Structure 1
Amino acid sequence: MGQFLMNTRIHTGESSLEEIARLGIRKAYIICDPFMEKCGRAQELAAMLQKMGTEIQIFSEVVPDPSIEVVAKAIQGMKELGPDGIIALGGGSAIDTAKAAGHLYGSMNGGARPLLAAVPTTSGTGSEVTSFAVISDTKAQVKYALRDQALVPDAAFLDPRLTLSVPPAVTADTGMDVLTHGLEAYVSVKADDFTDACAEKSIRLVWEYLERAVLDGSDMEAREHMHNASCLAGIAFSNASLGICHSMAHALGACFHIPHGRSNALLLPHVIAYNAGLEESGENEALLRYQTIAEMLGIGGGTPKAAVHGLIRHIRNLMKRIRIPAYVTELSVESETFVAAIPEMTEKALKDNCTATNPRVPAREELEYLYKKLCKGGSV
């Protein structure tokens, strides 16, 4: 028996953020990174709520790859305010911090989590609608992928105006994260008709609008469609989960501090080839699923493997056009240092929750082989 859960009320389009005042929050705890406060976005949001008589406290200590320590600080601030609403403003790091802190705060107060609203300012993680949160242990250099339905926000506000100032490199990285979410959800062992619909649409939108958004950040049409694509992919993988591209990216990012979307992009062509069995004889279900995506995108091929080779080639070409490198050695990572870290990263990836829903069950040596391809000379 399957199930498809969609617990978040989604507000879309320009000016959708103005609807946040209708939530009826009396005490709002806004969680964001320092830039959101410095540029005035947090204050603008606070002003909207204050017009309705809402008491506001801003927590602006969110960091990339949110840590256990930051989550603990956020909880302490909640204890002081006693909020009935938590608002996450920012990218995946802010939203994941709010999810984890809100859930733990609720558990400390009889299990009643305050209302959680997410206001994404990047188009990438889809965290505004998912049951996932990724929290880092900086001492152990491990990223923990948490999953619980209690983490799903109650409301999301997809206002594309908030993404207009996102730099091209970040737009590219987060956009590749969306593409990876869609593709991994589509070939997941838990995929179904409902998740497929969301995954397919998100992939189409990324294919059409990501490059436009990177080349012209003021392209509002591209920004809006990428914001929607991110959310749709989030709905897909929140129900179908992900695969080893994310498992390996979590370990890679934690070890070398490479942005999550870029980590996924580096690994994606290699993971597709592995899952599809392109270096082996015969066909498998993942191969045929990737073929369906290739054909949907207008990428032909006389055979399933030819179509998937074409899909990989087009993904690599897209990465070149939006200036995402193909190798870790292009990111100031020394080959020797990277190779030395492969056993530890592999161990972490095998234990990652996302590995369980990958279409192929990987052996340790297979993940090590995929990691080695990130050094120049080991391409697909």
Structure 2
Amino acid sequence: MQKIRFGTALYIGEDSLKRLSDFKNEKIFIVTDSFIASSALLPQIRSYMDPSTEILVFSEVIPDPPIDNIVAGLEYSKDFSATILLAIGGGSAIDAAKAMLYFGKLTGRFSGIRFITIPTTSGTGSEVTDFSIITDDEKGTKYPLITEEILPNEAILDAGLIAGLPPKQTADTGMDVLTHAIEAYVSTNANDISDALSEKAIRYVFTYLERAYKNGGDKEAREKMHMASTMAGMAFNITSLGINHGIAHAAGARWHIPHGRINSILLPHVIRHNAGMVEGNYGKNRTLAAGRYAEIAKFLELNAGNVQAGVRSLVNAILALQKKLSMPKSLSEWGITKEQFESDKNRVAEAALADRCTETNPVTLTKEDVIHILRKSFI
């Protein structure tokens, strides 16, 4: 038996920010980062709020928010008695707000609070999930916090807020969407509903990501990628993810690689390994996952005359998209040295296997398997 819950109300379209004007006499605690706080976005969003609202802004969220960052936000807001928690930004801001919500509820401070998210990137899907990723800087590890307690009540999806996202960040976040959708599609928890969401998100990425990358003002491309991010988030909130994210959390924390970029580097190698198509041996160790990857190739109208051809076509399509987005294809191209790799590979592999996202990978992996994926990703 599976439980499928869509607990986040979505406000979408050009006028979606008007939802904020519905709140009167509220105390709104805004969690964001310094870039958003110093840009025109925050005043734009605040302009929709009723004058009766009282606002407190915590703008100290940093990328891959560590535990200390969460504690700082909780301490900053301790005397405010917020009635609404509003996260504005990318995955880091939303994840930080989720962690603050979780620990705040433990102490009774945020009991009954309404949690609203306004994503300003099209990538994490965090606005509709009960996942939050928190970093332990001392251990160089990322930990997924997974609980329905942190599922947002509402998400406001205004693609106009994404128009100024630079090409590199557009590429990173877009490839994160693709990884979410593909991992959800092959997850051991996949079902018809998650498949439908994943398929639509994958189609949108291959149709619109390059357009959004080349022209940030392409309104249609931005809107479709924003929806793709949310649909992929809804999919993996049902299914969880896999070893791609397990490794990305471990390697990203240790080597400080942007999350979408490390996911992109790993993705072709994870697909080949999960499909049993490694070391050029395409006839052995075929897995059920191979058939699922081939299904993706078929609905993308790639060459998929048989399972092997479908997997190869999907991998080649991903590599071609990476090239169009000028993304690094290996850890060494990103800048990881041989010495760094050899020194850290065992700890990264161990952390990846312990990551909760790895539990729903379609293939059970050993430490040696993960190191093999890492080596292929390094070259």
Same fold (TM over 0.5): yes
1:138-287 to 2 correspondences below 5 Å: 138-279=137-278, 281=284, 283-287=286-290
- Note the C-alpha offset of 1:113: 4.6
Distance across 2 between alignment mates of 1:298 and 1:25: 53
- Note the C-alpha offset of 1:47: 3.1
Helix, strand or coil at the partner of 1:103: helix
Q: Is the Cα contact below 8 Å between 2:268 and 2:319 reproduced in 1?
A: yes
Q: Structure 2: which amino acid aligns with 1:21?
A: S
1:312 aligns with 2:315: yes
TM-score, structure 2 normalization:
0.97
Helix, strand or coil at the partner of 1:81: coil
Helix, strand or coil at the partner of 1:333: coil
Helix, strand or coil at the partner of 1:32: strand
Q: Structure 1: which amino acid aligns with 2:237?
A: S
Residue in structure 1 matched with residue 43 of structure 2 by the alignment: 43
Structure 2 unaligned segments of length 5 or more: list them.
none
Residue in structure 2 matched with residue 123 of structure 1 by the alignment: 122
Q: Is the Cα contact below 8 Å between 1:105 and 1:113 reproduced in 2?
A: no
- Note the C-alpha offset of 1:336: 2.0
Q: Is the Cα contact below 8 Å between 1:78 and 1:105 reproduced in 2?
A: no
Q: Is the Cα contact below 8 Å between 2:10 and 2:155 reproduced in 1?
A: yes
Distance across 1 between alignment mates of 2:25 and 2:6: 22
Runs of 4+ displaced beyond 6 Å: none
Residue in structure 2 matched with residue 324 of structure 1 by the alignment: 327
Helix, strand or coil at the partner of 2:329: coil
Between Structure 1 and Structure 2, how many residues are aligned? 375
1:60 aligns with 2:59: yes
Distance across 2 between alignment mates of 1:15 and 1:338: 48
Call closer, same or farther: CA 1:331–1:24 in 2, change over 3 Å.
Answer: same
**Which residue among 332, 356, 363 is the counterpart of 2:366?**
363
Distance across 2 between alignment mates of 1:194 and 1:305: 26
Distance across 1 between alignment mates of 2:72 and 2:37: 17
Residue in structure 1 matched with residue 10 of structure 2 by the alignment: 10
- Note the C-alpha offset of 1:218: 0.5
Q: Is the Cα contact below 8 Å between 2:24 and 2:52 reproduced in 1?
A: no
Residue by residue, what CA displacement relative to the aligned partner does 1:278-326 show, whole Å, maximum 9, x if unpaired? 1351532111111111000011132101111011011001000101110
Distance across 2 between alignment mates of 1:199 and 1:25: 39
Residue by residue, what CA displacement relative to the aligned partner does 1:42-98 show, whole Å, maximum 9, x if unpaired? 23323322x341000000000000110110011112212110001000000000001
1:341 aligns with 2:340: no
- Note the C-alpha offset of 1:150: 0.8
Distance across 2 between alignment mates of 1:11 and 1:56: 21
Distance across 1 between alignment mates of 2:176 and 2:346: 24
Residue in structure 2 matched with residue 26 of structure 1 by the alignment: 26
- Note the C-alpha offset of 1:103: 1.8
Helix, strand or coil at the partner of 1:360: coil
Distance across 2 between alignment mates of 1:152 and 1:258: 26
Helix, strand or coil at the partner of 1:313: helix
Aligned Cα root-mean-square deviation (Å): 1.2
Q: Is the Cα contact below 8 Å between 2:23 and 2:53 reproduced in 1?
A: no
Structure 1 unaligned segments of length 5 or more: list them.
none
Helix, strand or coil at the partner of 2:207: helix
Call closer, same or farther: CA 1:113–1:268 in 2, change over 3 Å.
Answer: farther
**Which residue among 288, 291, 296 is the counterpart of 2:291?**
288
Distance across 1 between alignment mates of 2:112 and 2:135: 22
Helix, strand or coil at the partner of 1:361: coil
Identity %: 41
| Higher mean C-alpha deviation, range 324-333 or range 182-191 | 324-333
| Higher mean C-alpha deviation, range 72-81 or range 225-234 | 72-81
TM-score, structure 1 normalization:
0.96
Q: Is the Cα contact below 8 Å between 1:107 and 1:113 reproduced in 2?
A: no
